[in-house]
Structure 1
Amino acid sequence: MAVATAEDTGRTLTLEAYADTVVPGEKRWAGDRAVAGVAEGGGAVAAGALELLEWDATGLADGLDELARLLNGHARDHADTHGLRLDPTVPPFVALDFEHRTDLVRQLTAPGHPEKEFWVLLTLFSNMAYDSAAHLHTADAIAQGHPGLTAMGFTPPGPDGLWRFPKFSYGRPLARLHPDTTPSGSPA
């Protein structure tokens, strides 16, 4: 079993703090430094933002170390600009309070910032973890109480694992079923 290094821990805390800035949630424990705790319930971190970012399907996994390094550099510059003293026991972005984290993310994702594309991608995937649980099977995410899907009132599947909507979203069926449609909903 691999032991996490201080660099791994710093990267994790930094990326979690970024995700929490995008979709805030409540602290996971009293001393949680990555999650600022400015919102009730689970946010992007509880929704699995880090797992989604580390999933090779995102195309970001290999660049996360560099993104965390860049983000911490920007956080140091932000602190210097605003005369802030950062706690040296945590990565610079984590040491920023929520207001300053939000301000920095706003700057990084603003039109004209030379690294905007990277930060917008990190933001989108943090949102995606909360909004769609893209890294999980939807039925499993719902069964586990995924915070985003729960907050949105996402309808769970039936006992057979399939979604059926007896009450049509428009209040009426939009089309008749094709006569060759199978019981599972597939065309024959």
Structure 2
Amino acid sequence: MPPHRDPSSALSPPTRRAILTALTTTAALLTAGQFPAIASQATAAEAMSAGWTVQTMEAFADTLIPGERRSADDRAIAGAVTGPGAVQAGVVQTLTSPELPLAPLLPEIAVLLNARAIAYATLHLILLPPTAPAFVGLPFRHRTTLLRTLFDADEPDRAIWQVLGLLTGLAFDTAAHLDTRHALDTHHPGLTWLDFPRPDADGLWRFPHYSYGTALAAEHPATTPSGSPA
């Protein structure tokens, strides 16, 4: 197999400490439901200006939540299924959100993923195209196999892929980068595919029917009118 050169390899080797620190911060923000403005839109746009970074992140997300190709020459999306996937649902916008600290590190993460793809392709004697990132060049079934190994318990960079996987899911399942009502009004692919319910006339969501068909516990007497605990 001839050597596959990734233009993004000109970047410095990924600093795992910096990446993991940013991912830990991201996970903490998501858990706490807090999204302070850490990065500017300009920084996010600059970080994702390299086409190979965008393609690599799209291919990663499409492997987790596949969608149909946007055009006949679409390479990042493998076209493994019909219907919308994470890319159509705005995964790039979620990853580059100015409220998260990931955007400046995405080129380095792409380098790391493509390096793993080159190693995988070499081991399995897969010829990679020279005009696309290594991970994008892998057939879909090999992308899937590689990602399975990246989520193994003994994978040293597992935390990186876990948080990226979480954000991929949030892009499709919740339209994390958009106001929910706006996402519904504009027919966000993920929310539409999931048949996400619309709010009541006043813009609030209420759920008059119990998910399990019965109340699982009595309402606490200090519950506020909004449904929050006192």
The TM tier, using the shorter chain, reads 0.7 to 0.9
Aligned residues, how many? 186
Separation in 2 of the partners of 1:105 and 1:53?
18
Q: What's 1:25 paired with? A: 67
Match for residue 183 of structure 2?
141
Secondary structure of 1:71's aligned partner: helix
Give the corresponding residue for 1:16. 58
Cα shift at 1:72: 0.7
Give the residue type in structure 2 aligned to 1:21.
Answer: T
Q: Where do residues 142-181 of structure 1 align in structure 2 (5 Å cutoff)?
A: 142-167=184-209, 169=211
Matched residue type, 2:189 = P
How far has the Cα of 1:65 moved from its partner?
0.8
Return the offset for 1:55.
1.2
Moved more, 61-70 or 143-152: 143-152
Query: CA shift at 1:141, angstroms?
Result: 1.1
Q: Percent sequence identity over matched residues?
A: 46
Deviation at 1:8, TM superposition (A): 0.5
Q: Counterpart in 2 of 1:125?
A: 167
- By how many angstroms is 1:5 displaced? 11
Does the residue aligned with 2:99 lie in a helix, a strand or coil?
helix
Give CA deviations for 1:101-136 in whole Å, capped at 9, x if unaligned: 111111111110111111111111111111111111
Partner of 1:48: 90
TM-score by length of 2: 0.70
| Structure 1: gaps of 5 or more residues | none
* Amino acid of the structure 1 residue aligned with 2:132: V
**Which residue of structure 2 aligns with residue 79 of structure 1?**
121
Structure 2: tracts of 5 or more residues without a match = 1-41
Other-structure match for 2:76: 34
Alpha-carbon RMSD across the aligned residues, in angstroms, is 3.0
Contact 2:94 2:177 in 1 (8 A): yes
Q: Partner residue of 2:132?
A: 90
Distance 1:6 1:56 in 2: 12
Give the corresponding residue for 1:103: 145
Cα distance between partner residues in 1 of 2:128 and 2:93: 27
**Displacement of 1:167 after TM fit?**
4.6
